[in-house]
Chains A and B, each alone.
Chain A
Amino acid sequence: MRIQSLRFLSLGVAALMSIAHIASYADETCNSPYMSGLIRGQEDFVHVWTLGVPGMGDGSDKLVTVDANPASKTYGKVIHKISVGGRGEAHHMGFTDDRKYLWAGGLDDSKIYVFDVGTDPSHPKLVRTIDNLSAKTGYVGPHTFYALPGRMLIGSLSNAADKGGVTGMAAYNNKGDFIAKYDMPTSAIQKIQGDGYGYDIAVNPAKNALLTSSFAGWNNYMRDLGEVVKDPEAMKHFGNTMVMWNLKTMQPDQIFAVPGAPLEIRWALAEGQNWAITATALTSKLWLVKRDAGGAWAAKDVATIGDPAKIPLPVDISITADAKGLWVNTFMDGTTHYFDLTDPEHPRQTFAKHTGSQVNMVSQSWDGRRVYITSSLLSKWDKAGKDNEQFLRAFHWDGHDLTPAFEIDFAKEQLGRPHHMKFTANPQRLASLVNASPR
């Protein structure tokens, strides 16, 4: 995003706030924490789903694997990369239920790549490409990959018919076969109008709850941000809703008005907790979705992120394993924030630091001691000129400050624009049934 776009973005947000319905967006250390194989202590590898850049290396989207174990001789270095042979706006990815495979999507070409990261996480292999999302569902722009047992639930951003924001979710089995589609609601539920937009999806099994957020369609996310914010009509086309679904029936139960593109969603999954949190990109708020004593869910904004008037543009968030803290990156001012969530109804920012000219994704290690940040938001939305830094930065976190651990310049290394990150660890002292039998 060009700096001069800020002024227009402010105007665009004002326009957005004046329209009837609203939307949102968010992310997590592990997308399905109720599944398995969470990482204890030090992660060994960080996998970075990276957008190809014309003229930079092979120009292709690629999965870049970085050695993240300080005890390793190649700590902080790129140890593996696998190109997918094209450029389709690499964006998010998610593990399967057993964390053996990583599904990664392209927002432009709607292709889905399945990488084997279980056999040898230091050398992921591309084992399957799924290219029938649009044909099967009419959706385009696969965004969130959320594991359910034996399946992947995919939240999309757009549709093939008009490339707008009306979209839905698709379910595939772990073999890559299409199972079902679920349109985001476009009618009203309990007098709250659905906008049909989608973005993130997050599940709470104990509550049979599936929560979704909303962002924008292909027409906006594949267009130069400076142009989008100068176009009042385009600025009307951002999501302003979240939807609470019945996970078992896959039917929408409630719609919440959450203005300003709510993005990543994170559940507090500990026993006794009954809430999820998200951040709105355009209105710079934290929103809490909480169940009341009567069993109904409600959404309310509980904190501001930076100075909303300056449009810091909150992007990714990462919740701590105990749901007592939340990292938030704001793209425009390149700041990484930490909020104390001890009282989720009153989050308090306790730390903020400038971590780059542009910062987007943030992922905290499961033990809370390290924080990883990447720079790229979208190929058409990243800043230009010297502010177009493209990096993976790793930090140590001692509860008070972020101190640099290592950094990889993705432009200098001819890799591309780094976006989503996932962690893996070596499966030590385990053997396949093929090679060993219990004594």
Chain B
Amino acid sequence: MPRLGAAARGATVLCLAGIAGAAGAGVDPGKATAPRMEFVPPPPGSYALQKIQRVADAVLLDSTGGAVRLSALTRGKITLLTFFYTYCADPLGCPFAHTTLADLRDRVRADRGLAGRVRFVSVSLDPTHDTPAAIATFAQVFNIDPAFEWRFLTARRVPELLPVLDDFGQDVSVELDESGRATRTLHHMLKMFLIDARGEVREIYSLAFLQPQVMFNDIKTLALEAGRTAAAT
């Protein structure tokens, strides 16, 4: 299995997020376009989000290198989870995802009713290069508020990541060069998963659906739902 050399680390890298199997002659990523929102989103609490699937548990690594159960980070709070890798450079890939998340973080921080009730989780697609130290460095840009929980995770090895990808239905593949060697380009369809405090996926956003106001309303909808459930019990 090819590994990253020092020289290769400096090479130009590309992430084709939003694309599945896009290399070569056949499958075309098409020209990715930023999501548009040409409508007034329905207000929070005026609709119910589907219960799509429960999140399976797994053991991953946090940015300190400590083992952490995924279930501990997908329950107890409303969680927005996405997959990334630190060196992804596609403007509409992981960087766009994290820009969107930063926007949402600020919206959540400004809403007192959501204080302490929302977390973000970013899971690396590349355990080989995204070591705990690497994701810790990457996380510094985003963890600007100690009161807001934004966790960055990786895995000890690829085999420990694969069941997580399979459970979420997150595709990823490695582009090969003409001689069949792996490059530093990962192909994956950009997705974010909104998970309720009981560990159930309630919405999934691909690139066309990354509309921050809608996503914020969805978060508030889950918060209102949890409040109603608590009141009923």
Interface majority SS (helix, strand, loop, mixed), chain B: loop
B19-61 contacts to A, CB under 8 A, are 19-30, 33, 35-39, 41-42, 46-47, 50-53
Judge whether B146 is part of the interface by a CB distance below 8 angstroms.
Answer: no
Judge whether A70 is part of the interface by a CB distance below 8 angstroms.
Answer: no
B58 to A: closest C-beta gap in Å: 15
User: Do the beta carbons of B42 and A427 come within 8 Å of each other?
Assistant: no
CA distance A430 to B29 in the complex (A): 13
Q: How many residues of A contact B (CB 8 A)?
A: 56
Chain A hits for B158, CB < 8 A: 433-434, 437
Chain A hits for B144, CB < 8 A: none
CA distance A42 to B28 in the complex (A): 10
B52 to A: closest C-beta gap in Å: 5
B96 to A: closest C-beta gap in Å: 15
Judge whether A350 is part of the interface by a CB distance below 8 angstroms.
Answer: no
Instruction: Among B8, B26, B185, point to the contact of A426 (Cβ < 8 A).
Output: B26
Instruction: Among B23, B39, B184, B205, point to the contact of A439 (Cβ < 8 A).
Output: B184
For A98, A174, A271, the residue with the greatest tally of chain B CB atoms inside 10 Å of its CB is A98
Chain B hits for A41, CB < 8 A: 25-26, 28
Judge whether A186 is part of the interface by a CB distance below 8 angstroms.
Answer: no
User: Do the beta carbons of A38 and B30 come within 8 Å of each other?
Assistant: yes
User: Do the beta carbons of A427 and B174 come within 8 Å of each other?
Assistant: no
Q: Provided the pairs A118-B21, A425-B25, A437-B126 are in contact, do residues A149 and B174 lie with their beta carbons within 8 angstroms? A: no
User: Do the beta carbons of B3 and A428 come within 8 Å of each other?
Assistant: no
User: Do the beta carbons of A150 and B29 come within 8 Å of each other?
Assistant: no
Judge whether B143 is part of the interface by a CB distance below 8 angstroms.
Answer: no
Q: How many residues of B contact A (CB 8 A)?
A: 71
Residue of A nearest to B201 (CB): A150
Chain B hits for A44, CB < 8 A: 26
Instruction: Among A42, A43, A250, A431, point to the contact of B173 (Cβ < 8 A).
Output: A431
Chain A hits for B180, CB < 8 A: 429
Across chains A and B, the number of contacting residue pairs, with CB separation under 8 Å, is 197
CA distance A397 to B209 in the complex (A): 34
Chain A hits for B230, CB < 8 A: none
User: Do the beta carbons of B27 and A38 come within 8 Å of each other?
Assistant: yes
Q: Provided the pairs A39-B26, A150-B191, A427-B24 are in contact, do residues A175 and B169 lie with their beta carbons within 8 angstroms? A: yes
CA distance A36 to B129 in the complex (A): 26
User: Do the beta carbons of B26 and A177 come within 8 Å of each other?
Assistant: no
Q: Provided the pairs A208-B39, A246-B42, A437-B3 are in contact, do residues A98 and B189 lie with their beta carbons within 8 angstroms? A: yes
Q: Provided the pairs A251-B47, A437-B1, A439-B181 are in contact, do residues A430 and B206 lie with their beta carbons within 8 angstroms? A: no
Residue of A nearest to B22 (CB): A37
B88 to A: closest C-beta gap in Å: 10
Instruction: Among B24, B36, B186, point to the contact of A429 (Cβ < 8 A).
Output: B24
User: Do the beta carbons of A207 and B39 come within 8 Å of each other?
Assistant: yes
CA distance A255 to B126 in the complex (A): 48
User: Do the beta carbons of A248 and B23 come within 8 Å of each other?
Assistant: no
Residue of B nearest to A427 (CB): B21
Q: Provided the pairs A208-B39, A425-B25, A430-B176 are in contact, do residues A97 and B189 lie with their beta carbons within 8 angstroms? A: yes
**Beyond known contacts A150-B168, A246-B42: 6 more, CB 8 A cutoff:** A98-B20, A174-B169, A179-B51, A206-B208, A425-B27, A438-B182
